[in-house]
């Protein structure tokens, strides 16, 4: 039984309390005077949620931090930042709460997020030619590598990669699509 030290109005001081009944207001029994009184449940700002990401044949289990009142919905995109796997672009496939599967829920009510890795990401590209810049989005695999100097054909446009900006800070000569914020190219 969870116990915590909270203020008892009967004793007039902080005492050990045991949870009698959980609800919007928890009913707590004071260990000193045995009085039962309602206590507003303390709101935590962040919820640490177990997340299982399915990646084809394998699945990766990790924990993500979300704000308690974040609204989660099946089909929604979710960025999962795992120490071992890096940032994964996923899509929520199911939300588990109290052994039930829900279509949508607030983060604080979710015990496990079931997600699938989205292998396609949209690479944002700016291509310039003769002082004009065009922006486009190219669907690629998240693990596709791009390198400064390489020539890319996309949507009828042929361009040479001149700069790659990373999702974190800074630029790189070589990066995977999922780590790229924007790629600049010079039209050929």
Q: Which residues bind Zn ion (CB under 5 A)?
A: 8, 10-11, 30, 32-33
- Can you give the C-alpha Rg of the chain in angstroms? 25
Neighbouring C-beta atoms of residue 51, cutoff 10 Å: 22
- Cα–Cα distance, 160 to 152 (Å, whole number): 6
The smaller minimum CB distance to Zn ion, of residues 8 and 183, is found at 8
**Buried residues in 163-172 as b, exposed as e (16+ CB within 10 A):** ebbeeeeeeb
Widest Cα–Cα separation across the chain: 82
Phi, psi dihedrals of residue 52, rounded to the nearest 5°: -110, 115
The smaller minimum CB distance to Zn ion, of residues 32 and 69, is found at 32
The smaller minimum CB distance to Zn ion, of residues 13 and 173, is found at 13
State the minimum distance, in angstroms, from the CB of residue 13 to Zn ion.
8
State the minimum distance, in angstroms, from the CB of residue 37 to Zn ion.
8
State the minimum distance, in angstroms, from the CB of residue 42 to Zn ion.
19
The smaller minimum CB distance to Zn ion, of residues 10 and 61, is found at 10
State the minimum distance, in angstroms, from the CB of residue 167 to Zn ion.
53
């Amino acid at each position: 039984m969870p116990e915590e030290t909270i203020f008892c109005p009967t004793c007039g001081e902080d005492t050990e309390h045991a949870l009698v009944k959980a609800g919007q207001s928890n009913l707590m029994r004071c260990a000193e005077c045995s009085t039962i009184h309602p206590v507003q449940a303390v709101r935590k700002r962040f919820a640490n949620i177990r997340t299982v990401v399915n990646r084809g044949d394998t699945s990766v289990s990790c924990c993500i931090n979300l704000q308690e009142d974040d609204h989660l919905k099946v089909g929604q995109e979710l960025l999962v930042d795992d120490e071992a796997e890096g940032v994964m672009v996923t899509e929520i496939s199911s939300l588990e709460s109290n052994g039930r599967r829900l279509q949508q829920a607030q983060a604080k009510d979710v015990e496990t997020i079931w997600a699938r890795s989205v292998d396609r990401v949209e690479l944002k590209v700016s291509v310039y030619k003769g002082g004009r810049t065009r922006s486009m989005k190219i669907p690629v695999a998240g693990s596709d590598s791009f390198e400064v100097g390489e020539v890319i054909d996309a949507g009828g446009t042929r361009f040479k990669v001149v700069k790659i900006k990373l999702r974190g800070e800074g630029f790189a000569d070589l990066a995977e699509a999922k780590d790229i914020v924007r790629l600049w190219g010079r039209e050929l």
